[in-house]
Structure 1
């Protein structure tokens, strides 16, 4: 009842008529007209409710329609600000950029699979009333962003293969592209180094017979045993971050051009 009176107070009274000026999407005008017609019939007051489109110089508010897949991404963008009317909606592109940039930071095959399976369980059980009406705030937040977490987990698995990390351990999926036996190692010392997980000498591709070829996909697992592992990986990730950052910023500038036009 309080809500009804609150809405009525927003209307102006002219000649025993209530007039309310509201924004309505053009596509929803038939729905609005139908609702007003039903209200006129149900009230039994003998009056008629109708709507007119009036010109206005004020820019309309932004209405972005979402579904259960895009709602989580739209909420993230709206937390920073809502785009002006007829501007490009960045949430559309965030569907790809946000999970991928998260995965660049969280690249691990094992952890990514766990996150993906958790989100998949939420997606498959999205119609379960127990999941929908959970009173746990953190769980409700995860349930609302289940598709976001699903993509974050899938992308993390991909970048985990790029980093060659599974629960922070390197995996030997393909044969290594290095042969460190040429680096003043005999077979016994090399076997002991691998068995003890102790660092070997800095990998030097300029030595004959050391660098055989490029690892097919991701980081060669031999780097986990090299004493210059951090030097190489930090340099690699720093350069990759700069490249991704430049592309991401340039893409944002391109969207700003469309907004300007």
Structure 2
């Protein structure tokens, strides 16, 4: 059982009391509406508790260049299974544009060169994967909050949704397109960046070229790679499984704070 499922096991037992459930498999529990409701309420409690604690130390720890890991495993997809992405890669991403839309005053379509001209932030942080491994790397990119301010937020804006080039399981909406989301609290955190560089070089394909999200206070599956589009929304109700992310629609927690 993964670290993620073990944590959910703990939350269920804490909520229902010792002996309340004999857990034989979290995938089975996910199919029960009553237990699913407990999981969601426990997740909300965890998010509120972690943010109260983080108020005393709001940033993820940053390291020195001497701490950078000699190797950094590729998390998730190594190469998007997308003809459109392959064409963009073949052209050196010259034709790639990051689209920003939804509940914004001004829709944007930013090239990689334009993003690199904006004020940047460099940070050396630890990536914690839900599978149990960690690695430290240096990331350089544009603060997400800066891009959102350029677009301007309309009333009702609450979440930022990230759509990616990689297509995984042919389920739910029929495409299995990878997506993720965070709320505006994390979106405007100074360490939340749209990264185009890793360890003083442009991102490799395996690590999410040309652009990936770094939201340093959450687990690795929230760090969406191969970004293509950002939408600002007021809810997840119109999105596939309605839980705000590819893995969340399959049972993972939406708030993966560490």
Q: Whose RCO is larger (CA < 8 A, sep 6+)?
A: 2
TM-score class normalised by the smaller sequence: under 0.3
TM-score (norm 1): 0.20
- The structure richer in helix per residue is 1
TM-score (norm 2): 0.20
- The structure richer in strand per residue is 2
